Each structure stands twice: as C-alpha cells, then as structure tokens.
C-alpha cells in the first residue's frame, strides 16, 4: 500500500492536519497531493490559526460541509494562490487535535475470540456480555501522541505463570494494536444521550491508531478492573484526520449482529466501513487487517459511550480496538499473529514474537473513494526505545 502516494490525497479526500514551517506557529492545513494547503492563508479564518483542529471541529457539521465545498470548488477552478500551497516536504506535522478524553473499544469479534482462546482455552472465547454491548475501557488522553513520536518501553509489574510473586522491570511482551480512531467534533451535555443517528453530525473524522500494549503488565493487572498501566504509557495516532464526509463510498453494512442489539444500539443503516489496513514491522508488511469485518460500528460505540449520560466533548477520541479478520495474515496484534509467542513470524529473515528495542512499526490504510479512486489515511509510525528502568 503506497501510504504516501499523492494520488491517495486528491480532492475527494482532503484530510485535515496541523503543521508548522521552520519552527513557526502551528496552524491548520489540508493535504492535497504532495502539498499542504494553508487554510489560515486561504480563508483568513482565525479557526485555522490554531495549534489544533478543535476550534474548527466545534463549529459544527454545517461548517465542515461548507469549508469542504469551498475547498473543492477552489481546487476545481484552480483558484488556490501559490502562497497557500506548501510542499509536504517542507512542513513538520504536529498533533492534529487536543484530546479531551480517550476511550478504547474491543469491537472485533475475531480479535476478541482469538484472545479468549489464548487466555481462556477451556472456556467460551467470548464473555457473555460481548455480543450485547461494545466493550471498552477509558484510557489516558495525556499519552496520546502523534505519529513518529518515539515510544519508550514501559516498566511495571509482571508475574510469570510459574512464579509465586510478581517482579518489576521492563515489559518483555511489548505489542501493537492496529486500530481506527474516531474524533468527536461536537459533543453532548451531561445527562444527554447521543443516538446512533447522531454519529455523522457529531464525529468529525477518523485517524489511524496504534494502541501500544505491554501484554505482560496487562495480564497481571487487568483482573478485575481491566487495562491500566499496560496500555496507558502511549497511544499513537496519524497526523491526518480524514473527514467522515470523505468516506461515503467506504460505508458498508456490518457483517451481521446476532442477537439483535438493544434498541439504543440499533441503526437504520449500518456504519460499517470498508477500510484496508497494513501493518509493517521494520519495513516488512506482516498483516493486512480489514476494518470491514468489525462487529460493532462506530455509531454504536458513540451511542453506548453516552447512553448513561456521560458527556462527549470536542476532541474526544475513541478507538475501535484491534482490527482483525478471520485469516492469520489479517490479525492486527502481534499476540494474535504469533499466537501468544508460540508461533513466531519471520521479519527480515529473523523469527520474531514481540517488539525489541529499535523496532519500528508503521500502520497505513486506504478506503474506496468516488469514481474508483482510493482515499489515503497516511501512516502512524513509532519506534521503540529502551526502558528507563533497564
């Protein structure tokens, strides 16, 4: 997948990001081919003279539609002044949003079933609640970082299966999770519930997510309250936010839900998305997870996240959880791909299971666009640095 192919960033895409030039003030731009369009210069709008997309996202759905219409019109008419067009090679991409809250779901039946078989081999793969609600946990917004931020191996408590007591030290089972993230543009008040029908006017766009996971720390800590330090040390997102408005051709019905969800989770038309991901480990593609296989939709996740009256806020990020398909080469986490480390994969001639210091992981994705085109998400990349406690 040519993650940086200019053809993936045509006028049918127009993803938003935040950039700077030569150490100058960050501001909002849109990617067009191999250039960045400076929206502050183009429109003279203070919403785009900001170090995040939050001010623009908060202006609401009608504003998103109008800015996109004006952009596409100017591109068609070749009315983009030269001073607004900056070569991509000359910009530094920044964190695109100020993250308000971060929630991570567990929406792939294939992923959840695989982990169930790994962790509970003598029981049903899925727990009783899994097909009744989108399972998730509340993460740590302060450690969501933009692509190309180095990831330091976390330290924590680990307990070997044959040990009587835990030990402290660097994680030895450091993993990735290839995910899709959804960015809330306009939120809700405390006590208000968003419905599945509110999704496309509430969610601004999508990013690629790598939810780095320390599996040994996670395995010891997660009973009974779930993920904590094994997840909270870092989550990486891509610098480009692909607007939901660009993904109309990618929309698909879900593969099927049985039993029928409770009324608040039902959709008149499903928000499945035909998005194809690639996971590259030190430059070698090792997996191609298909987002179209996900069991729960992002609209259902949003409805569930607010059904108890919890607020949604501009800049909230919620992620799908690991994206996995039915085939081995479609698994979006190394714990699945190597079956808990028992079935190594060959990476550049070496047998590998979990991440070593110096490893780099890059996740990219594309989706169908109009007239046979493809929409690009770019990449989310990160390299592992040694643990501070080593």
Which residues are designated catalytic? 111
- The answer to whether 120 is a known ligand-binding residue is yes
* Residue 179 is labelled as binding a ligand: yes
| 109-118 per-residue burial string, b: 16 or more CB within 10 A, e: under 16 | bbbbbbbbbe
Task: Determine if residue 222 is labeled as part of a ligand binding site.
Answer: yes
Q: How far apart are the first and last CA of the chain?
A: 36
177 assigned to a ligand binding site: yes
Query: Any binding-site annotation on 231?
Result: yes
Of the candidates 183, 129, 77, the one whose C-alpha atom is nearest the C-alpha of residue 296 is: 129
Phi, psi (degrees; rounded to nearest 5) at 110: -65, -45
Q: How many CB atoms lie within 10 A of CB 313?
A: 14
Question: Is 70 known as a binding-site position?
Answer: no
H/E stretch holding 122: none
150 is in an annotated binding site: no
Query: Among 69, 77, 84, 102, which residue's Cα sits nearest to residue 29?
Result: 84
Residue 322 annotated as binding?
yes
What is the rounded CA–CA span in Å between residue 380 and residue 378?
A: 7
Both tokens of 14, joined, read 């127009």
Q: Which two tokens stand for residue 236?
A: 């990486």
Neighbours of 53 (CB within 10 A): 25
Residues at the binding site for substrate are: 106, 120, 218, 222, 322
Residues at the binding site for Mg(2+) are: 211, 231, 235
């Amino acid at each position: 997948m040519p993650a940086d192919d200019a053809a993936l960033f045509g006028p049918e895409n127009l993803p938003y990001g935040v950039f700077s030039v030569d150490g100058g003030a960050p501001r909002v731009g849109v990617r067009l081919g191999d250039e960045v369009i400076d929206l502050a210069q183009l429109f003279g709008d203070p919403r785009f003279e900001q170090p995040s997309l939050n001010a623009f996202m908060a202006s609401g759905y009608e504003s998103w539609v109008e800015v996109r219409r004006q952009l596409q019109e100017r591109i068609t008419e070749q009315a983009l002044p030269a001073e607004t067009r900056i070569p991509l090679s000359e910009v530094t991409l920044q964190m695109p949003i100020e993250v308000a809250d971060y929630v991570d779901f567990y929406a792939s039946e294939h992923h959840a079933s695989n982990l169930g078989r790994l962790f509970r081999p003598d029981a049903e793969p899925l727990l009783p609640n899994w097909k009744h609600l989108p399972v998730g946990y509340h993460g740590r917004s302060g450690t969501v970082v933009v692509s190309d931020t180095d990831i330091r191996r976390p330290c924590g408590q680990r307990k070997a299966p044959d040990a009587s007591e835990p030990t402290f030290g660097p994680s030895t089972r450091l993993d990735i999770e290839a995910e899709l993230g959804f960015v809330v543009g306009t939120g809700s008040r405390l006590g208000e519930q968003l419905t599945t029908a509110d999704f496309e006017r509430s969610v601004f766009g999508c990013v690629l997510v790598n939810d780095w996971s320390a599996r040994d720390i996670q395995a010891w800590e997660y009973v009974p309250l779930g993920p904590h330090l094994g997840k909270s040390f870092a989550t990486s997102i891509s610098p480009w936010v692909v607007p939901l408005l660009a993904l109309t051709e990618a929309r698909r019905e879900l593969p099927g839900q049985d039993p029928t969800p409770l009324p608040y989770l039902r959709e008149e038309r499903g928000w499945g998305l035909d998005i194809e991901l690639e996971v590259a480990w030190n430059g070698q593609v090792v997996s191609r997870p298909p987002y179209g296989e996900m069991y729960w939709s992002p609209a259902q996740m949003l409805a569930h996240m607010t059904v108890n009256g919890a607020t949604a806020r501009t800049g909230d990020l919620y992620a799908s959880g690991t994206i996995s398909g039915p085939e081995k080469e479609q698994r979006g986490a190394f714990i699945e791909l190597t079956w808990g480390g028992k079935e190594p994969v060959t990476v550049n001639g070496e047998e590998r299971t979990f991440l070593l210091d110096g490893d780099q992981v890059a996740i990219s994705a594309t989706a169908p666009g109009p007239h046979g085109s493809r929409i690009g998400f770019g990449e989310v990349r990160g390299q592992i640095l040694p643990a501070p406690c080593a």
